Chain A
Amino acid sequence: MIDFDEEKKKFRKSLEIDELNDALANCDITDMDDIMIDIIKQFTGNKNSGKF
Chain B
Amino acid sequence: MENFEIRNRKISSLYFDLAIDRVEENDMYMAAFFLKKSLIYNKKNIDSRNLLGLIYYKLGDIVEALVQWIISKSYRERDNLATVYMNEVQNDNTTQDKYNAIKLYNLALDNIHIGRNDLAMMQLIKGLNLNPNHFKSLALLSLLQLNIKDYIKAGSNLLRAQKLDSGNFQVNKLMNYTMANTKKSEVKEKKLKNVYSIKKLEEDDAILSKRYIKLTTNQKIIFILLGLSIGIMSYQTIVLPMMGNRFKSEATNDIIKYADLVNEQNKTLRDLTIENAQLKSDYDSASIRLKAYEEQNRLFTSQYETLNEIITLFDEGYISRAARAYIELDKDSITDETLLILLNNAKSRIEGIGATRLTELGTESWNAGNKTQAIAYYQLSLSINPNDPETMFLLARLYQSLGRNADANPLFDKVIAEHPNSNYSKRSREARGY
Chain A interface (Cβ within 8 Å of chain B)? 1-2, 4, 7-8, 10-11, 13-17, 19-20, 23-24, 27, 29-34, 36
Contact = CB atoms under 8 A, between A and B. Distances in A.
Interface stretch (B101-109, B280-288, B383-391, B417-425): B101-109
A23 B315 contact: no
A31 B42 contact: yes
Contact of A15 (B64, B140, B146, B173): B64
A14 B63 contact: yes
Given A13-B105, A24-B67, A27-B71, 12 more contacts: A1-B177, A2-B173, A7-B170, A11-B140, A14-B60, A15-B64, A17-B99, A20-B66, A31-B39, A34-B43, A36-B4, A36-B5
B174 A29 contact: no
A11 to B, nearest CB: 6
B61 A15 contact: yes
A4 B142 CA distance: 11
B153 interface: no
A17 B112 CA distance: 22
A15 B65 CA distance: 10
Contacts of B99: 16-17
Contacts of A15: 61, 63-64, 67, 102
A10 B170 contact: yes
A29 B68 CA distance: 11
Contacts of B174: 2, 7
A13 B43 contact: no
Contacts of B105: 13-14
Contacts of B147: 2, 4
A29 B72 CA distance: 11
Contact of A8 (B62, B67, B143): B143
B257 to A, nearest CB: 39
Contacts, number: 86
Contacts of B230: none
Interface of B: 2, 4-5, 8, 39-44, 60-64, 66-67, 70-71, 99, 102-103, 105-106, 109, 112-113, 136, 139-140, 143, 146-147, 170, 173-174, 177, 315
A24 B143 contact: no
A2 B175 CA distance: 11
Contacts of B103: 16
Contacts of A23: 63, 67
B143 A31 contact: no
Contacts of A17: 62-63, 99, 102
Contacts of B102: 14-17
Contacts of B143: 2, 4, 7-8, 11
Contacts of B62: 17
